Homo-oligomer: A and B are copies of this chain.
Amino acid sequence: MQHDETRIDGVTEVTATSNIRARAHGGRAKCLQRLVRLGLPVPRTEALDVDLVRRIGQGHGPDAGAILGRFGPDALVSVRPSSGVGDWGGPPSILNVGMTDARREAIARDVGAQAADALYARFIQSYATHVARLNPDRFEDLDDVAAMLAAYEEQAEDPFPQDPARQLAAVLTSMARAWEGTTARLLRRAQGAPEDAGLGLVVQEMVLGVGDPERGESGSGVIQFVSSETGLPQVTGRYLRQSQGREALMRKAPALYLTQDARGPSLEERHPELLGELQTYGALCRNRLREEMQIEFTLSHGRLNILDAVRVKRSVRAAIRIAVSLATEGVIPEAEAVLRVPPRALLDVLHPRIDPEADLPAIATGIAASPGAATGRLVFSAADAQAAAAREEAVILVRRETTPGDVLGMHAARAILTERGGVSSHAAVIARGLGVPCVVGASEIAIDRRGRFFRTPDGSVHREGDTVTVDGSAGRVVAGAPRLLEAAFDDALITLLTWADERRDIGVRANCDTPDEAELARRFEAEGIGLCRTEHMFFDEGRLTVMREMIFAREDADRAHALDQLLPMQRDDFVRIFQIMAGRPVCIRLLDPPLHEFLPTDRPGMTDLAASLGLPLDEVEARIRSLSEFNPMLGMRGVRLGIAIPEIYEMQARAIFEAAVRTSPRMTPEVMIPLVSARREVELVKSRIDAVAARVRTESGVEFDYSLGVMVETPRAALRADEIAEYATFLSFGTNDLTQMTYGLSRDDAGRFMSAYLRERVFAEDPFLQLDTEGVGELLTMGAERGRRGRPDVTLSICGEHGGDPDSIAFCRAAGFDYVSCSPFRVPVARMAAAHLAIRDRGISTMAPPER
């Protein structure tokens, strides 16, 4: 072939040595150059850079004939988009540009009229649709070239262009302009592309894929060597004889399987040498491009051409497996394997999810509050959930909102659905802690608790006992039991997390309130428990009654009696948790919620309580009323309880110390005081707890250590962290409450306007989901600095929900925190996120994987 090699500004031939840059020419051009460098048989390709394409869009393009001239007089070419580094979409590829009546004759002579007609028809159709913008329906049922040319001429009021250069010019202009269109811009923005991202194009010589069977195999296909679902080795793809481009994927028959297959004929049987060649190319890509690639190929009279290769699409599970395999085989460093898996993506594999194939309509939608999916029968009270769990029935608990009294029922349920609340509502926080799927704020459903059903806006009614599936990752509920894909905490993930742990430089602990959660924390290899809330321990039926007796005690002796009964129960909890954690640190928060949370709110509950306490109902009601508060969040809770009723904290401290004495290996419990706002609070509680420790040491004859710290949840505690640290060896920032108080915003009540706030961009993000680094974050930074000023070796951590959020972890790491603590299911995310930060900081090879 005669090639015109005149230089055209912005047009570069893709060769092993030419100056192709992803930023200038797009990802596809760069990838093709890599394939060329590997020696793969890539047809001649010319890359048009972003600037040139922009000029083409503005009508200042070069002579298309000169570009065609590069390919020789008779070449057909394809034009494909080559967008920025990420895959930001772009106009569809156009094949067979240059096809004309004359060229059709020549090709017919070469490979037969049928093949030539097929190519011409396909070109007319895509030119008509994507370049001339004619109505595609008018070309749908035509397969005769003459009819197509007539249809084109009729609609375009112009004959089909017979000048290849004019064709190419029109194709290039059309693609350049489509890129600048509003639709394309919106699509790109949705994918996170910059506003002004440019488009490159590649013009590639066509390999026909149709030909004379006598002269050898012709066709096209795609192939990859791992499973997109699992990431395990598996040849996947399809090959279609007498086809072009990706037709093999669209028209299944009469495609061939790639490898030998009982269901039908395969390329391996027919042309084992060709499959072997493809496998060689796949291995080359894997080892030299350091990535699993999907390869697009065309056979032309038995000769293999590689047209393109893109990263294998993959599930999170497959991404993990591929990254670990590449690193294990030494293709990439372990650190890069870690970087290749986005931390948040892990949530996908830690929980079951609804099979994406099961395309069911939602009967309710709300806020995705705790990820995972679960199927069960509807119940409308925590008691019913517990009863069902006792019968080993899977149930979904539906509540208007949950309260601490619902916690045992939440434990018993497979998933939770609430009408009210936001991502940080009680239901959401507890569900995440339990790892139970949860949808909150499904405000369109109308619950009838007495009738035991809920109604959806379309009027349909879902009753107790009906089977539904809650998808807490997507925030929706579907009727029935679709297929669920199981969680995959498999060897590849465990290996990846081990690599992550070897590199990260900030600790990760879990928030666990129960032995079950502690087991989860162990499984996810948390370094300890960063927040063990003690209040949930009192909701067990037997304990709740004693707790209520304690609350209702009028005499010190009565209170002491009740606390004496609670002591061994609480101690047993700690013994179990300490044993599970096997010497890893456990930070226990002393009782925090207002006492009225332990009291019944409805008449039957009050009647029961009156009976069990032997008090008249009206006195019980009056006492409960007197304990109620206008703003419980800002009321008598936390350390205020500890100072007003010191016996409670003393009992808890004793339970902790006695448990520590009984546990082997001996551990050093960490005791945390909640809701501190002034130094003197810590001083007072510390002196009492020190005294309890001394008594337990004397009684048991066992020496043990403990450390005492403060949960920093009020702005004042952050501001006064220096003097608070004089009495506290650690400061753990409770970012949930700190966010509430810094904004003056209750997470339970924010749901009613949070959506308006996000829509109006008042808040860039829900501050309960993503740490507000400007406001709350400044208090964290100040608190950390001042805490260190007061005690240079003070241990700093966060234990709010943000502890599992990668951005918040980055913030805490930058502020020099020692560890973060989060829900057990967030622990793997946090471990990965922390590793990403450390790896990026230390400048270990951070080469991004090739995008295509």
Contact = CB atoms under 8 A, between A and B. Distances in A.
Nearest to A748: B630
A677 interface: yes
B779 A719 contact: yes
A643 B772 CA distance: 20
Contacts of A746: 629-631, 633-635
Contacts of A740: 634
A636 B775 CA distance: 20
B741 A775 contact: no
Contacts of A776: 716
Interface in A757-808: 757, 760-763, 772, 774-776, 778-779
Interface of A: 629-636, 640, 643-644, 675, 677-678, 680-681, 684, 713-716, 719-720, 737, 740-746, 748-750, 752-753, 756-757, 760-763, 772, 774-776, 778-779
Nearest to A681: B762
A745 B719 CA distance: 16
Given A629-B746, A634-B744, 18 more contacts: A630-B632, A630-B746, A631-B632, A631-B746, A634-B634, A640-B757, A643-B762, A644-B752, A644-B756, A677-B744, A677-B775, A678-B763, A680-B763, A714-B745, A716-B776, A719-B774, A719-B779, A741-B741
A590 to B, nearest CB: 16
Contacts of A715: 715, 741-742, 744, 775, 779
Contacts of A677: 742-745, 775
Given A743-B714, A744-B713, A779-B719, A634 B633 contact: yes
A473 B677 CA distance: 30
Copies in the assembly, this chain: 2
A778 B717 CA distance: 12
Give the interface centre of A681, A715, A750, A775 by most chain B CB atoms within 10 Å: A715
A760 B682 CA distance: 12
Nearest to A641: B753
Nearest to A675: B744
A635 B720 contact: no
B737 A716 contact: no
B634 A684 contact: no
A267 to B, nearest CB: 59
A516 B680 CA distance: 43
Contacts of A635: 746, 749-750, 752
Contacts of A680: 760-763
A384 B80 CA distance: 84
A233 B742 CA distance: 58
A634 B636 contact: no
Given A762-B678, A762-B681, A634 B775 contact: no
A143 B742 CA distance: 76
Nearest to A774: B720
Contacts of A774: 719-720
Give the interface centre of A643, A677, A740, A772 by most chain B CB atoms within 10 Å: A677
B631 A716 contact: no
Contact of A753 (B632, B640, B745, B762): B640
A719 B636 contact: no
Give the interface centre of A630, A684, A713, A746 by most chain B CB atoms within 10 Å: A630
Give the interface centre of A632, A740, A742, A744 by most chain B CB atoms within 10 Å: A744
A632 B750 CA distance: 10
28 contacts: A630-B633, A630-B746, A630-B749, A631-B632, A631-B633, A631-B634, A633-B633, A633-B634, A633-B744, A634-B744, A634-B745, A635-B746, A643-B760, A644-B753, A677-B742, A677-B743, A677-B745, A680-B761, A680-B763, A681-B762, A714-B745, A715-B715, A715-B775, A715-B779, A716-B743, A720-B775, A741-B741, A741-B742
A630 B633 CA distance: 8
Nearest to A644: B753
* In the A-B complex, the 8 residue pairs with the closest CB atoms: A634-B746, A635-B749, A716-B775, A714-B744, A631-B746, A715-B715, A630-B748, A631-B633
A779 to B, nearest CB: 7
Nearest to A680: B762
Contacts of A630: 632-633, 746, 748-749
A756 B633 contact: no
A154 to B, nearest CB: 51
A678 B758 CA distance: 12
A716 to B, nearest CB: 4
A707 B715 CA distance: 30
A170 B442 CA distance: 88
B684 A762 contact: yes
A699 B776 CA distance: 44
A739 to B, nearest CB: 9
Contacts of A753: 636, 640, 643-644
